Structure 1
Amino acid sequence: MTVATQVNAAEATPHAEREQPTGTRPFAGFEWLLAGRYLRTRRREGFVSVIAGFSFLGILLGVATLIIVMSVMNGFRKELLEKIVGVNGHIFATPIDRPLDDYDSVATRLRRIQGIKLAIPLVEGQALASSQTGNGGVLVRGIREADIKSIPFVGGNIRRGTLDGFDTAGGVAIGKRLADSLGIQAGDTITIVSPKGASTPFGTAPRIKAYPVQAVFEIGMTEFDASFVFMPLTEAQAYFNREGDVNVIEIFVDNPDNTQAVRDAIEADAPRPLVLSDWRQRNRTFFNALEVERNVMFIILTLIVLVAALNIVSGLIMLVKDKTADIAIMRTMGASRGTVLRVFLITGAAIGVFGTLAGLGIGVLFANNIKAIMAALNWLTGANLWDPTVRFLSDIPSVIDWREVASVVLMALVLSLLATLYPAWKAARLDPVEALRMG
């Protein structure tokens, strides 16, 4: 049939008859078949297929990167929260009117309050730790043996030595990174220097005392492992001139996210006036910065998916332009505008759906095996790509939040489907008579 014959046939066909659908079932089999052919590579439409391929890869990489990055950010928050709160406590009680010399009775009464599992009296002070090979600033914490053993991140992570007899042995427990930097092991001697020592006629003399290293622990957070020194409570009181009192009572609760209810209970039943603060107040800036970074990363990486969706638009527009004659012939043969619309909707949506599903699989696989992948990359490159001294944590964490994964997948699917609407609508609105005349 010549083009002129097709034009005459199209003009002779009543408009209402041409608009009748070819079938009552949406997304008929031939529509899927035609959309599949449009997605296959042919020599004449090779450039269109290349754009479709890049759109597929863009959506795949965007979805996978979003899942991986959000999982790592969730892992960061979980690990930092567990370690910061797990070592430092959830609520901190400090005295108001007089020194906290009745800390035993206060701690005992606090433990009876519902929701509190630990109340630990502490003496804290800054000092300088030194050995024959180095020195560094440390935070000395005076604590009793039973209390240090009850802190899981310390008592459950002893790498060398032991905490048995901690109250009477006269030794200290130090972090692994501090031990490595000073070049000492369990059984060696560490010297603690404090600027606030004994008062003399010539002023305050620094206090210098050597202690045997009884235990070496590894919390897994660089800042803590490189700066914490735990000392028996009575020895810390003598070293820092506390005269039988403590700085603070650290309180560990059953639910760290519900500290306000416990604070209210403490204020209602406090044995003496106390100033209360919680982990949210002490670490507000840090966790707010982490949340801002997480949200910004989500927005930035969403742009990758958006760019890939725009590639779908450009690819489909070029495909519609290339298939103008085919669309006109289909219309003259009885295909409705809805049929043409669905064909190009399937074509564009297939790129988005398969790209999203592939990105979902790769992202989840990568996030679940990120430590093994990092170890393989370290082996291939011969370098430590995850430096714990810079990134706080010893290992790269990853926690998949399936609600976030679902939102990422839904967002990618919606953007992909929206990207197909305009090109599909343009194809459906194409006038077959004008298209055949131009062809």
Structure 2
Amino acid sequence: MIFGAVERLLALRYLRSRRQEGFISVIAVFSLLGIALGVATLIIVMAVMNGFRIELMSRILGVNGHLTAYYDSQSISDYRDVAQRLEDIEGVRLATPLIQSQVIVTSGDRAMGAQVRGMAPEDLERRQQLVSKVVGGRVSDFGRDGGLLAGSRLAQQLGVGAGGDITLLSPQGSETAIGTVPRMKAYPIAGLFEIGMYEFDLSTIYMPLDQAQIFFRYPEAANAIEIFVNDPQRVWELRGVIDDELGPGWRTVDWQQAHSSIVNALAVERNVMFVILSLIILVAAFNILSGQYMLVKGKGRDIAILRTMGATRGTILRVFFMSGAAVGLFGTLLGVALGIVFTDNIQTIQGWVEAVVGTQVFNPEVYFLTRMPAQRDPREVLEVVAMALFISFLAPLLPAWRAARLDPVEALRYE
């Protein structure tokens, strides 16, 4: 073994305090707690951020295509054949023709902008993530008498509900004898959906494809094909195959490009939080460093005696390295245990906090979350442990080297 039995015994002995060395032991305890809290905090925060990312991505990817295909001429007349060819590709789960366009929605004296997604009723029924989020009206009424599905927040802003009417104004006007006038038409609301993303629920309307073809003037055509794949995290692997199947004149946009602002923001936030919280471990490592320096200074006579008894410089270095590294090792293990226990029981802890403060930690009206999501990534936990151990093992090296270089004659001269 690298460390002998005597070296381990001496390192353990130096970790225990005697009355005159109590302050050094207090520093060791605080260093251990600092390492433990830093590691636990990193694990908890990274797990919560992963939970938020997975929750957000599941909602985005549940209602939006993982890949959207557009044709250069915009109008896709053979959209059914194209969609069928795409669904025949291995790894593609669903391909849906649709019409996407911007409109102005009015009801009474209220108006706001929205995005219309024209989709056939049979295709909408295949979107279980959307169908299961209908909170008012009936999905079966979608397409009946031109019935639409509208976001709950949009309906709330306009002051209408399921069964009410809204008027759509297209920015593409119609040419008349008196000039260009905006196209407008009233539609009934068949149902309301609430995905849980504020922007989506505030600005999205689903319209039957045949009605969208008439209103936006795409006769027997669509302007996009929305594609869902089995593994959205690896959509880039299928993108080349899909591009080859579509041929020239087509372009595709994956979900990471379409939602690049959200994806990049989550990645930057994760990296920044990792760096900031790592400073907690770094501060605790400085405590180990200072504590070991004080220990070496207080053990000068012991070091000199050990050297005169035949202990080598390597022995002294290993003894003091072990005494400092042990603090980091046990602190890291304690932090990992605390982090795992906290994330596994985060819902119970949330309930305790809400009972104490008397309010909801996550107000659904604000966050669209009733609970704090947490998802540990084993790879990230290993990264945190590796970083904590590296810092903890690096900190006591300099004091240990200083102890090994101590001259026993100088140390005993004034004893």
With the length of structure 1 as denominator, give the TM-score of the two structures.
0.82
Match of 2:204 in 1: 228
Contact 2:289-2:399 within 8 A present in 1 as well: yes
Aligned CA distance change for structure 1 residues 269 and 173 (closer, same or farther; 3 Å): same
5+ residue gaps, structure 1, are 1-23
The one-letter amino acid paired with 1:161 is G
Q: Is 1:348 the equivalent of 2:324?
A: yes
Match of 1:109 in 2: 85
Aligned residue among 374, 389, 412 for 1:436: 412
Q: How many residues are treated as equivalent by the alignment?
A: 415
Contact 1:133-1:183 within 8 A present in 2 as well: no
Alignment identity in percent? 51
After TM superposition, the structure 1 = structure 2 runs for residues 397-416 of structure 1, keeping only pairs within 5 Å, are 397-416=373-392
Aligned residue among 255, 271, 278 for 1:279: 255
After TM superposition, the structure 1 = structure 2 runs for residues 51-130 of structure 1, keeping only pairs within 5 Å, are 51-97=27-73, 99-130=75-106
Q: Is 1:262 the equivalent of 2:246?
A: no
Q: Is 1:38 the equivalent of 2:18?
A: no
The farther-off stretch of 53-62 and 165-174 is 165-174
Partner deviation per Cα, 1:217-263 (whole Å, 9 max, x = no partner): 23232222222221211222233333332221111222334444534
How many angstroms apart in 2 are the aligned matches of 1:417 and 1:356? 11
Aligned CA distance change for structure 1 residues 261 and 423 (closer, same or farther; 3 Å): closer
How many angstroms apart in 1 are the aligned matches of 2:41 and 2:261? 27
Residue aligned with 2:317, SS? helix
Structure with greater Cα Rg? 1
How many angstroms apart in 1 are the aligned matches of 2:97 and 2:211? 14
Match of 1:6 in 2: none
Match of 2:295 in 1: 319
Q: Is 1:174 the equivalent of 2:150?
A: yes
Q: Is 1:357 the equivalent of 2:333?
A: yes
Shift, 1:130, TM fit: 4.7
Shift, 1:418, TM fit: 1.6
Shift, 1:154, TM fit: 0.5
Shift, 1:332, TM fit: 4.5
Contact 2:75-2:218 within 8 A present in 1 as well: no
Residue aligned with 1:425, SS? helix
Residue aligned with 2:77, SS? coil
How many angstroms apart in 2 are the aligned matches of 1:202 and 1:372? 67
The farther-off stretch of 303-312 and 352-361 is 303-312
With the length of structure 2 as denominator, give the TM-score of the two structures.
0.86
Shift, 1:352, TM fit: 0.4
Partner deviation per Cα, 1:31-77 (whole Å, 9 max, x = no partner): 54544443345543233223222212221122122212222333343
Aligned CA distance change for structure 1 residues 378 and 127 (closer, same or farther; 3 Å): farther
Residue aligned with 1:53, SS? helix
Shift, 1:406, TM fit: 0.9
Match of 2:397 in 1: 421
Contact 1:149-1:156 within 8 A present in 2 as well: no
How many angstroms apart in 2 are the aligned matches of 1:200 and 1:372? 65
Aligned CA distance change for structure 1 residues 25 and 254 (closer, same or farther; 3 Å): closer
5+ residue gaps, structure 2, are none
Contact 2:141-2:190 within 8 A present in 1 as well: no
Shift, 1:403, TM fit: 1.2
The farther-off stretch of 369-378 and 302-311 is 369-378
Residue aligned with 1:245, SS? coil
Partner deviation per Cα, 1:295-324 (whole Å, 9 max, x = no partner): 232223223222211221111101111222
| Aligned alpha-carbon RMSD (Å) | 3.2
Partner deviation per Cα, 1:184-216 (whole Å, 9 max, x = no partner): 543444444444454444444445544443223
How many angstroms apart in 2 are the aligned matches of 1:35 and 1:244? 82
Contact 1:220-1:394 within 8 A present in 2 as well: no
Contact 1:222-1:389 within 8 A present in 2 as well: no
The farther-off stretch of 311-320 and 137-146 is 137-146
